[in-house]
Structure formats: structure tokens, C-alpha cells
Amino acid sequence: MRLDGENFELASIALDRTPLGKKDYKLSDGGLTLLKPPAGPFTLEIVTFVDPEANKALSGLYRTNNVYCTQCEAEGFRRITYFPDRPDVMAVFTTRVEADKDEAPVLLANGNFVRGGDVAGTNRHFAVWHDPFPKPCYLFALVGGKLGCVADTFTTMSGRTVELRIYVEPGKEDRCGYALDALKRAMRWDEEKFGREYDLDIFMIVAVSDFNMGAMENKGLNIFNDKYVLASPATATDNDYAGVEAVIAHEYFHNWTGNRITCRDWFQLSLKEGLTVFRDQEFTADERSRAVERIADVRTLRANQFVEDAGPLAHPVRPALYHEINNFYTPTVYEKGAEVVRMLSVLVGRDGFRRGMDLYFTRHDGHAATVEDFIACFADANGADLSQFMRWYAQAGTPELTVTGTFDRKAKTFRLDVAQTVPATPGQPVKEPMTIPLALGLVGADGRDLPLVRANGARVARGVLTISKPAESFTFTGIAERPTLSLNRGFAAPIKVSVNAGADDLKFLAAHDCDPFNRWQAVQSLATGLLIEAVTARGGKPQAEAGLIDALAAILADDALEPAFVAQALGLPSEADIARDIGREVDPDAVFRARRALRERIGGALNDRLSALHRRMSDNAPYRPDAASAGRRALKNACLDLLAADGGDAGITLAARQFAGADNMTDRMAALTTLSLYDRPERAAAIDDFYRRFAGDPLVIDKWFALQAAIPEPATLERVRQLTAHPAFSFANPNRLRALIGAFAQLNQTQFNRPDGAGYDFLAETALALDGKNPQVAARLLSAFKSWRALEPGRRARAEATLRRVAAAQSLSRDTADIVRRALGEQTADDGRS
């Protein structure tokens, strides 16, 4: 019988109370084997010593800011004791925690509190917790330390009272209100939308400052990166509030999708993550604005997952093999996984989706399930054949749809010819056609949708065609005028679509499409077209941007639109978006120049309207974090950014004034971000002022680090180097690393990709220095190299040389070796361990 275990000292091991000797078991690298385990039931007692203070990998049991806490997903429990560390080994845990009373007055573990008290004759105390629900060890948690607490209660739909507690560093209790409110809304939502009720007597969240991920859904005892708990108007932006709400909801929703039903093995990771991301996205859409949430989610998907899918780190939603599971907590497993669940809901419809989910909960509660089990529930509940749909889990790469629309005035028909391809990805040169739900509309000249009636007289249900072949055609009848095609509405499928439509069609859709996502998409497509032409037609005549400016003007003038939506429409595609759409031989400096020039021209052309809107969206009401107020601020700040786009006095003065006068972090940070783009005295003054105001508040100083790391100018690299020696910076803290090093590598396209390769060298030397202590975070930083092959030859050569140097370094962690070798194409996601 083999048990996993590493990085601790074995004190004793006994079987049915008899101590075992060296001849009874074999110790090996990473585990212990009992040579002759009894055939029947037996009790195994193992005593180990761990050193939480020395644990800088932040996996297993570790110490952060004087708090002992655990992180066991994916394979951290084996750093605490010997155990069969795999998710399909589920057990009922009873945990007794004992500690010095002064050092750890609060003692927590999974489940319900059973008893506690003093340990006689010592200054120690103990607590016993019992979790009646069988769970895999990756969901185990314990916490001990000095913690402040905010408490509340929640009454479930069946009338049970659940105690809610959020634990934070003492003194930060007043920043927990929003998290607690979000938790209660999430609990109610899961009852109403999915019929899921909470199952223990108590639900606890502990916020810690050193944490590798966002948060962890341990049963009954979620442990959070404090970034996703703490929020106050003076210290958190609207985006931070939205992040708290989404992560609180996500981890809570795991109680059913992840904990009650867990994964049979780590290949099924998307079974819990893709599904739970889908659920938290739906929660946010219901709580805030469906259109704006969808746009924000698709921006993130394209920025992270589409790029991953197009590069050397591409892998299927369910990888077939892996070297290091920690490297598969990726945008593909999470975000693309959520898109796959969303497509399922489009294919079977809203009610059909709920039927499938109900069946999933009934059939698999208490079990470790697979993706096949999940999909079978939707097939069975709806009588649907989803066998081809399974390819979404197996094939990597973003499918591409080419659509040609042909109008026949005489026959009054409109024909769609649709062809699909899936590009080759590492280890998968040949692909099979996918099942793709294509949500579409034919928009008439008056802006209204025409009925979608097929040649056989059938109406297209819910406006969704199901594409399944490499090429197919659809003919719609009764079409008297040439319609405008609105394709992939709501971004129902995570694909790229190209269609024979011109700038006039896009302008029309931007003004009239009843699908708000595609109105936004039309503006983005207009801007992308202009930007790509400006980048690739070097020295050529830039195309007129009149169409884009007219489309934006129409959106600014449309009072029926919610401000948050207008703000999204004003946001041009990012430099990374443009680079991704160009796809090869990318010169990040040319992309930056084209984007900056277009922003400047838009700001100039719409100056009066943007100024008026900036004033109209400013109010003196006290800060409230709700979606409508946040939307007004988002629009105000989008206007500010364009008004300052020429770097001239008027816009900079406006930004400097907003920075100084802001009564909340959203407005202050937005003004500072705008100022940061221009090398003027106002910028240096604001950066210094910001530090003085917030010194001593690490989460806020992270914004200060990230802002400076993202400044698109050559002096930035040296500034980032100097900031690594700043007293507020720490290599041991993942949030600091992500703020300074991560922002530089992920957000600063021109400076990370400096033509001299110094940005690459800096990232490599930082990651190598970190690798021995925290390999998970080191590997994640290096994933910034995920699109190096798309760069122009000079940068490409330098990036490759840097990667080769890292790959050749002595004693690389498994995490880092895996990322670097895959980035170099020396191995694929599919030739690791099975």
C-alpha cells in the first residue's frame, strides 16, 4: 500500500497500535510503502514533524504573518503527512488542533465545531472539528493564529441557520463588510438558480496575506488571498469590489461543484473549475449587468486563453497527460472550460440545462466524477446526442468559422455558407470538426431582426444553428431586403469568426444590433481593422477612422445604454489584443504607436462630447460600490483617459485635479493610470503622493508597484529593478511578485518585449532566483513567454535564447522545467505523465 509524502520528518508509524519497524515499510522519494498491509480493516497512526516557518512554497502547512494555514490543492496534503493523495480517495476527517494560547488563540478546521478547551497544566488549548462529508485530502484545511472576526448568520431555504464568519488580520475587520454581503447573496443565488443549499452549521473564510492563488474552497473553511476579501472605498477600486464578489461566490459555489461532487483525478480539473467559473459568471451577470459581464469575460478570455491556445502552451480543456498539475490551473481549464459549459446551456436551452444540472447533483453527490459523467447528465436529461460535443474537452486550439452570406433578391432568400477549421496545436496536428452553437440574427434595415425561417419552413429555435460539419449551408426564406448578419451573438461559442461584411455593416450593427455584445463587438472590429492596417501598412496612408468615430458618437448619444456598457465600447482593443489578431511577426512598438495615435484622434474628434459626459458622470454623492454607481465611474474614467490621450495640458490638468480631489480609490487610481502614460511633472508628483498616502497598506501599494511596472517607456525596466529593493517589496509574497514582476511581464508589451532582450533577461533571472523557494509562482511568471513565437525575428531570437538559458539552469523545479520546455516546443502537454 503506497502513501504519498514529502518534505517532512517521519517521527513514528504504528499499525493497530503496534509500532512499525524499518522492515515493515519502505521509504522512497515522494512516498512510503507498507510492505504487508493487513487484508482487513486496520488503523494506521503516523506522526510527522513539519516546519511551517520554513515552508516558502506556500503549499502544505505554512506560516504567513504569524498565522498557520494550509493549502492542499493540488498536492499539498502530502507535505503534511503520508496519505493516498488523489482526489478520488474520499474520507471523513476529524481534526484536533492544539497550540499555544497566546500564539494561536483561534483554531479552525473543516466542518462543524465539536469541542475545545485548555490542555491541563500548559498554556495550550485545543479544538476538535468534524466534517461529516467525505472529501479528498486536497480539501483539508486548518488555521491557527491571532485573527479578528466578523460574524453574521444566514437562513437557508429549508430554514436552517448557518453561522458565517470571516477571519482577518486584527484591525482589518472594517474591510470585510462587502465580502460578507457578497457571500450571503451568493448563498441565496445558488438556492434560487440551482436549488443548492449549504450543508454545514458554519461557513468560514480566512484571509491571509501570503497565498499562491486567489482563494481555496476547502470544505466549510475557505482560505483566501486577502486581496479578495478586504475592500473599502478608500483602498479598493470598483474592479477590486467586483473581484471580491466574484471570488467569494466562486469558492462558495464549489461547495456543490467541486466538494460534494469532486473530480475523479486531476485530468478532470475543468469539471469543477470550468463549471464553477460558469456559475460565478452567471451570478455576476444576474447581480450586475449581463451584457457588461459578458463583454468583460470575453475580453479576459481572448486576452489570456486565446493567446494560450495559439501558442506553445496550448492544451485541451481536459489535458490527456501532464508533467506538473500545478501548471494546469490555466485560462484553458478555467475560462475555456466555462465557455464549454456555456455552450452546453445554449445547445440544450435554459430549462434543459437546469434539468441536466439537477440530474448531475442527484446522480453524483458524494462521488468523484468525470467529464463524461457530467456530459451524460445533459444528454440523458434532454435526450440529446452530445458525443461530438465531447471534442471540446479533447481538442486544443480556437476553432475558426468562415461565414459567407449571399442574398438572392429574386428568390427572397439568404444563404449562409459556413466552414469550420481547428488549427493544429502542439501534439495535435490533425483536428476533427466540432459541434458549435452559432447564435445569429439577420438584422433588417430598420434595425429589427428578421424571422429566421429555413427552406423547409422550420423556424430556427432560439436563434441558434448547430454547426457540426467541416462545411455546411443554411438557407433562410422570406427575406425581401439584404439583411446585415449578426453572428455569434452573446459570444455563445469561444471561436473566431470571419465573415464577408464591410465597415458599413459593422457601423450599422454598432448602432442597431439588438444583441448588446455584438454592438460592442462591431466597434471593436472597426477599431481592430484600423489598428492592424496602421501596424502592417508601415509608412502607408492610414485608413480613415470616420466610420469608427461615427459609431462611437452614436453610442455616446444613445441615452438608453447603460454607462458601464458605453465605457466598454470606448475601450479600444488592448495592445495584446491587436498583437493576437495580427498573429505573426509582431512588433510591439508599432502596435503601441498605432494604438496611441488612434486614441489621440478619437479623443480629439469627440472632445466636446467626452468632456460633457465626463462632467455628467461626476457626482458628489458618497461612494457606493453597486454596479450602477461603478458603471458611471467607469464611463467617467474612460472619457478622462481619451480626453488626456494627446498628453496636452487640458487633459493632464483634468486628471491631476481628479487624482488630488478623489474621495475613492476608483477615481484616484484611474486618474493616476492616465497620468502614468505621460512623462510630465504631474506624474512624478502623483506617484509620490500616492505612496505617502498609502504606505503601510500592502494591497494598495501593490497598485503602486503595478502601475509603475506598466509604464510604456524605456526607463521602466530600471525602475522595476530598483523597486525590487524597495522596503515595501518582498520576493516571498506572491501578491507583491504579481504586482511588480507580473505586471511588467504581462501588461507592459513594449518594455517586456524590449528589442534588446533586457526585459526577457530580467524576468528569467527573477524566476530563477525564486524557483528554489516558490516554484509555482516562478513557473507562472515564466508563462509570460507564451506568445514569443508570434514576435518579429529579432525579439523572437532573444526570447528563445533566454528560454534556452533557463532550461539549461541547474536543479530547476518540475514546475519551471515543464513550462520552459513546453514554451520551447521540446515537449507538449500530451507527453507528460499519465
Least Å distance, CB 357 to Zn ion, is 17
Task: Name which of residues 457 to 496 contact Zn ion (CB under 5 A).
Answer: none
Distance CA 81, CA 3 (A): 9
One-letter amino acid identity for 651? G
- Contact code string over 163-182 relative to Zn ion, x by CB under 5 A: --------------------
Distance CA 520, CA 509 (A): 9
Task: Name which of residues 408 to 467 contact Zn ion (CB under 5 A).
Answer: none
Q: Taking contact as CB under 5 A, which single stretch among the options 3-11, 55-63, 154-162, 267-275 is the one that binds Zn ion?
A: 267-275
Q: Taking contact as CB under 5 A, which single stretch among the options 63-71, 133-141, 269-277, 618-626 is the one that binds Zn ion?
A: 269-277
Nearer to Zn ion, 273 or 309 (CB): 273
Least Å distance, CB 215 to Zn ion, is 8
Look up residue 212 and give its three cell numbers.
Answer: 499562491
Non-local (6+) Cβ contacts of 127 within 8 A are 96, 97, 107, 108, 109, 113, 115, 116
18 torsion bin: left (phi>0), alpha (psi -120 to 50), beta (else)? beta
Task: Name which of residues 198 to 217 contact Zn ion (CB under 5 A).
Answer: none
Nearer to Zn ion, 221 or 501 (CB): 221
749 torsion bin: left (phi>0), alpha (psi -120 to 50), beta (else)? alpha
Q: Taking contact as CB under 5 A, which single stretch among the options 52-60, 266-274, 383-391, 608-616 is the one that binds Zn ion?
A: 266-274
Helix (H) or strand (E) holding 203: strand 202-208
Distance CA 463, CA 453 (A): 10
DSSP assignment, residue 309? Answer: H
Q: Taking contact as CB under 5 A, which single stretch among the options 7-15, 270-278, 622-630, 788-796 is the one that binds Zn ion?
A: 270-278
CB atoms within 10 A of CB 689: 14
Nearer to Zn ion, 273 or 818 (CB): 273
Nearer to Zn ion, 246 or 348 (CB): 246
Catalytic residue among 251, 287, 293, 575: 251
Task: Name which of residues 276 to 335 contact Zn ion (CB under 5 A).
Answer: 276
DSSP assignment, residue 434? Answer: P
CA distances from 588 to 535, 585, 601, 796, 811 (A): 9, 10, 20, 12, 33
Comparing CA positions, the residue from 635, 648, 705, 715 lying closest to residue 675 is 648
Least Å distance, CB 251 to Zn ion, is 7
Distance CA 288, CA 175 (A): 21
Least Å distance, CB 306 to Zn ion, is 21
The burial class, CB within 10 Å (0-12 / 13-18 / 19+), for 83 is buried
Q: Taking contact as CB under 5 A, which single stretch among the options 272-280, 440-448, 618-626, 698-706 is the one that binds Zn ion?
A: 272-280
Q: What does the radius of gyration of the chain's CA atoms come to, in whole angstroms?
A: 28
Q: Taking contact as CB under 5 A, which single stretch among the options 237-245, 273-281, 741-749, 822-830 is the one that binds Zn ion?
A: 273-281
Nearer to Zn ion, 219 or 431 (CB): 219
Nearer to Zn ion, 247 or 379 (CB): 247
Least Å distance, CB 762 to Zn ion, is 31
Q: What angle do CA 54, 60, 66 make, to 5 degrees?
A: 50
CA distances from 161 to 110, 150, 200, 426, 427 (A): 18, 17, 10, 52, 52
Least Å distance, CB 205 to Zn ion, is 14
Looking from the CA of 438 toward its CB, the CA atoms found within 13 Å total 30
Least Å distance, CB 536 to Zn ion, is 40
The two most distant CA atoms of the chain are separated, in Å, by 97
538 torsion bin: left (phi>0), alpha (psi -120 to 50), beta (else)? beta
Q: Taking contact as CB under 5 A, which single stretch among the options 62-70, 128-136, 274-282, 739-747 is the one that binds Zn ion?
A: 274-282
792 is catalytic: no
Nearer to Zn ion, 138 or 705 (CB): 138
Least Å distance, CB 574 to Zn ion, is 25
Least Å distance, CB 272 to Zn ion, is 7
Distance CA 330, CA 303 (A): 13
Kindly list the strands in the beta sheet with 215-216, ordered across the sheet, starting from the edge strand earlier in the chain: 148-155, 161-168, 202-208, 221-225, 215-216
| Interface with Zn ion: number of residues (CB under 5 A) | 2
Helix (H) or strand (E) holding 655: helix 649-661
Least Å distance, CB 250 to Zn ion, is 6
Nearer to Zn ion, 276 or 518 (CB): 276
One-letter amino acid identity for 827? Q
One-letter amino acid identity for 622? P
Nearer to Zn ion, 275 or 375 (CB): 275
Q: What are the residue ranges of helices labelled H in 301-382?
A: 307-309, 331, 337-364, 371-382
In this structure, the strands spanning 262-263 and 368-369 are: parallel
Q: Are 186 and 286 in contact (CB under 8 A)?
A: no
Least Å distance, CB 214 to Zn ion, is 8
Nearer to Zn ion, 276 or 716 (CB): 276
- Contact code string over 217-256 relative to Zn ion, x by CB under 5 A: ----------------------------------------
One-letter amino acid identity for 20? L
Nearer to Zn ion, 273 or 324 (CB): 273
Q: Taking contact as CB under 5 A, which single stretch among the options 234-242, 275-283, 427-435, 511-519 is the one that binds Zn ion?
A: 275-283
Residues that bind Zn ion (CB under 5 A): 273, 276
Q: Catalytic site residues?
A: 251
